[in-house]
Structure formats: C-alpha cells, structure tokens
A and B are shown apart, each in its own frame.
Chain A
Amino acid sequence: MMSENYSIENGKLVYKFSGRMDTTRCMDAEKSVVAALDGVTEVVFDLNGVDYIASSFLRLCGKASHKVKPGCFSIINAAPPVKKVFKIAGLAERLNLV
C-alpha cells in the first residue's frame, strides 16, 4: 500500500513517502507536495518504506529542493537500493541524502 503524509513544525516540513514511487504515484503526490511546501524554510523527505523510485521522483526532489535555501533540503531513511538510484543519477550530494 502506498501512502504519504507530512507534518510541519517551526517551518520544517517532514514529508513521508512509502511504497513504490512510480511515475503515476509521483504525479499524484506532486500536487500535495507543492501545496505543503508553501511557506516552509526547511524540507525533509523521509523515504522509510520506499522500495522503488521513478525518474519523476528525482525531478520532484529537485523541484522541492529549489523551494528552500541551499542546505535546507534533505532526504532521510533511503533503503540501499533507493540510495543507489540517487547515486547513479549523481544527485545524492546535491539533494543532501543522509
């Protein structure tokens, strides 16, 4: 079952994703993510439980990272196979994958 939810505290958005983030799922999630980004100063994408990401998810990460100042975007809890996708795309450092 795929789902995502988020919390905002003191301007910090923590957005949780899970399951298979394929193209269709990313398209559905994008609207919700963009709305949640409004007015926040820090963004964390929590990928605990995500087992697949499409290239459109990489684009979504890039888009979200541009909404905040450099260094204020990060990705946490990526499983090794998902981390490898960011590495192959050359985005692990730029998106502050921790």
Chain B
Amino acid sequence: MAHIGTALRINEAVTKAVNSSAEFSQFTQEETNKIVEAVYRAAFDKRVPLAKNEVNETKIGNWQDKVILNVIATQMVYNELSEKKSVGIVYENNEDGIIKIANPIGPVIALAPVNRVASTSVFEILLCLKTRNPIIIVPPKNGIETSKLLFKVCYDAAIQAGAPEDCIQFFYDSSSEEFEFLLKNEKIAAIIGGSHDVSNKIRTTSAAAVIGFSICNVPSYVEKTTDVSFAAKELVSSKLFDGGTLSSSEQAIIVDELISKNFIDELKKRKVHFLSENENLLLQQHIIKNATSGSRWENAVFFNKNVCEIAKDAGFQISQDSTLLISNKGAAQFTKETYTVYAPILSLYVAKDFDQALNTCLDININNCTGHAASIYSEDKDKIITFSSLMHPGRIFVNTPTSLGTLGGFYNKQLTSFVFGCGSKSKNNGSDYLTIDNLLKIQTVYMRRARYSDNDFLHKYFYDETVDSYQIDKIYNRNY
C-alpha cells in the first residue's frame, strides 16, 4: 500500500502521460517527423555540454567518449528513423491481401543507466516520439542535473514543433516506493532501458512489458585462427572506450594457448600491465572492499580513474604509461558482488583447446550473470557458430569491439540502439535490440483472398471419418 503522497505524484505523472498519449494518437506522420527532427537537432547541438555535464555529475567515463555516444544517440539514430513509417499504413501487399497499420502502444517508462545518462535518454525519447508514445524517464540519482538539462533541451524543442503537452516527463528523485508503484501502474504500456541497480526489481514487479534489463558479463574468445595483432588492438581500444565503464565492454578474454604468447606480446605492445600475483591480491582486496557496500554503481572508486590511480589506490605502483590492467587470476570474477567491474581491468584466461575455451566462456557468461553480449575473434565459421550456439546472451559479436559494436551501426548493419533485450531468463520481452517496432501496436488487416478449392472440396471429406490425412493430401493436391 503506497502512501497517499506517493500515489498522487505517480497518478499525476501517469494521467498526464495518458492524456498526452490520447492527443498524440491524432498526429500524422509528417507532424510526428517534424517533432522528431526538432528534438534530434536540439539534442545534437547540445551534445558537448550534455557530455561535460554528465561526466562532471556522475564522475563516470570521459566527456569526449560521451560526446561520441551522444552523436550516435542523436544523429545516427535520427538518420535511421527519419525515413521510417510509424503512423498509419506501414505495409501493404495487395496480392496477399495484407495491410499493416501502426498505432502507438501508450505511455512508456524509460530508465537510463548512470554510465550513459544523456545518450540513452535521448535515444529513448526519439524512439518514443517517433512512435507517438509519451515517455516518463526515471533518471539515476546521480544523473539528475544532466537529465534536467536534457529535459529542457528536448521538451522545449518538441513543444516548439507542435508536440502534445507532457509528451516527455522526467520523474526526478523517485523514492523506492514511488518507483515500485510506478512500475505496477496498469496504464503503463512498456518499461524500457537499462539500469543495473534496479533490474531485479523491474523484472519481479513490473506490470508492463519489459525490454532491456539485465546484468552483464561479456566474455571475449580469441580463437587460434584470428589475427592476434588485430584482436589485441580491437580489444584494448574497446576496453578503453569511456574508461571501460560501458556495461557492454569486455570483462574477460579467453585465448587459445597456441597463440597466447603472440597475443600477450601484442597486448604488451599496447602498454597493457599484467598483474603479478601480489598485485592481483591487492587489487582483489581493493575491489571487494569497495564493492561490498551498497550498489555496484555506487562503487565510484574506479570511475573516472586511470589504471595508475586505481593501482595506487590498491597499494602498488605501475608504469605511468600503462593503459589497461590484466589479471590472469580472474580479477573481474572474485565474488558475486564484484563479478562485473566497470573499469579498465580485464581478466585473461589461456585455454588448452576449443572445449576448454568454451567451458571457461560458459562459466563467465552463464554462471555469474547472463549478460547481453559475448564476442569471438576467429576466421573459422564453424567455431563461430558453435561458440554462438552455446553462449547465452542475445547478441554475439564476431571480430568486433563490444563497447561500440553493441550499439549497432558502427561495426554491423544492425540499427543503432541503446537498449538491449536480454531474453526470457532476464524476464525481457525478447532478446533483440529495442527499435520502434517494439513501441508500435501493429494491426493487420486481412482482405479476403479465398483459397480456390475450399468451398467445393473440404467439408464432405472432413465429415467422413474413414478418410485419413494421407487421402486428404492426395485428393487436395491432385491436378485434374
């Protein structure tokens, strides 16, 4: 039973969204597109202040990479959306007599992870506007100032372009009780986004369809047929993107023994620091000490710190030009509380053969948490398929850095997305990327296209119980 104040605050936000949804349902494709373009342009123009504001507030990542994420979330997403139909007839096939009509699904609750506040929020806003669904964003507690700036930028632009009132709302400072009450509201059509701290609560309490919630652990298998120099370059650059704080970045590398020496040499060329046994122990203690109090996202001890600072905090010194820390003792898999470390730290495992590599990947990918991505560097298609079939996440990347690869558009032909379905194990509605298709109610109109022999053939044989299925087939398919 929620407090009266809680209920009022939630009801007010939801009622506004429902009314906005009703108004939005009258908009044409042209009117909708005009709003989406206006919001895209306004958010794109503020990509740098948004990025700087976010890093300053959350202390996560670096502003330059946040700018890249903001560009992906605005320009790339807009370019993909701009020509898409999302209102009225979206498909027509006269031969089959099929017409598909797109309608909005209704108010959407969206969450943004604290490591990608602005980019994920603006992506969610653009998708919801394109599908004429009002959006209520629940920002992370340490991303509120960024969210306020983003709200002003996007909402002003939307209203200026003729959008309905309250088509975008931000629900700031929600208490745990309010958040739960919001999730249970039956007028909410879908809950989208990714926020690790609340993923369990959402999965267990939401009344609406859930897309994009899971915890992550990304194994990357470097198979013996790959170009080791290429794999090392891609893995290091991926892990360094935004300080290794993206949940889609690699957590552990599993390398075939046959190429392990060359691969490690390639990593060392890129100034990767391999932890000694003592350093590994010190880092392990440091991680556990700082990760066991509260949420992992509050574990800001690693955020915005380079590896030298992390090493110093843990009690040991490394070369000043070091880029990454690599542990061969499973630095990212110490305890249940710290199985995913969002920092420029990787684990490295050497596998004797393919089976051992697969087993190690399974341990990382499934035993700890299922995640939304895994990757393999290989030129052997059979092994790629075997690996992919055994891993659990909804998306497996081949010869691709997962940090940016996961977002789509850069390294593959997938449409850009910042929200990733994580499958039934995470109680997600599907395991694909969130696109506008998830936010549309597609109605199918079936025109009559009668099959030629139905009227004069079937009934008399169906009523005759001596006629079996083989005879039916034979009679039905005869050509005379």
Chain A residues within CB distance 8 Å of chain B: 23, 52-56, 58-59, 81, 84-86, 88-90
Contacts and interface: CB of A to CB of B under 8 A. Distances in A.
B22 A56 contact: no
A85 B25 contact: yes
21 contacts: A23-B165, A54-B23, A54-B165, A55-B19, A55-B22, A55-B23, A55-B164, A55-B166, A56-B165, A58-B22, A81-B26, A85-B22, A85-B23, A85-B26, A88-B21, A88-B106, A89-B18, A89-B19, A89-B22, A90-B18, A90-B187
Nearest to B159: A23
B20 interface: yes
From A55, A58, A84, A85, name the one whose CB has the most chain B CB atoms within 10 angstroms.
Answer: A55
Nearest to A85: B22
Nearest to A58: B19
A23 B166 CA distance: 12
A59 B12 CA distance: 12
Contacts of B22: 55, 58, 85-86, 88-89
Nearest to A87: B22
Interface in B108-167: 164-166
A90 B187 CA distance: 10
A90 B25 CA distance: 14
A23 to B, nearest CB: 6
Contacts of A90: 18, 187
A85 B18 CA distance: 10
From A81, A86, A89, name the one whose CB has the most chain B CB atoms within 10 angstroms.
Answer: A89
Nearest to B167: A55
Interface in B177-197: 187
A8 to B, nearest CB: 28
Contact of A55 (B20, B106, B187): B20
Contact of A88 (B16, B18, B166): B18
Contacts of A85: 22-23, 25-26
Nearest to B17: A55
Contact of A53 (B18, B23, B106, B187): B23
Contacts of A58: 19, 22-23
From A59, A88, A90, name the one whose CB has the most chain B CB atoms within 10 angstroms.
Answer: A88
A86 B16 CA distance: 14
A21 to B, nearest CB: 10
A55 B165 contact: yes
Contacts of B19: 55, 58-59, 89
Contacts of A23: 165
From B20, B22, B166, name the one whose CB has the most chain A CB atoms within 10 angstroms.
Answer: B22
A53 B20 CA distance: 11
Contacts of B164: 54-55
A81 B106 CA distance: 16
Contacts of B106: 88
From A53, A59, A81, A85, name the one whose CB has the most chain B CB atoms within 10 angstroms.
Answer: A85
A55 B20 CA distance: 6
B90 to A, nearest CB: 19
Nearest to B20: A55
Contacts of B25: 84-85, 88
Nearest to B187: A90
A11 B165 CA distance: 34
Contacts of A86: 22
B26 A52 contact: yes
B187 to A, nearest CB: 8
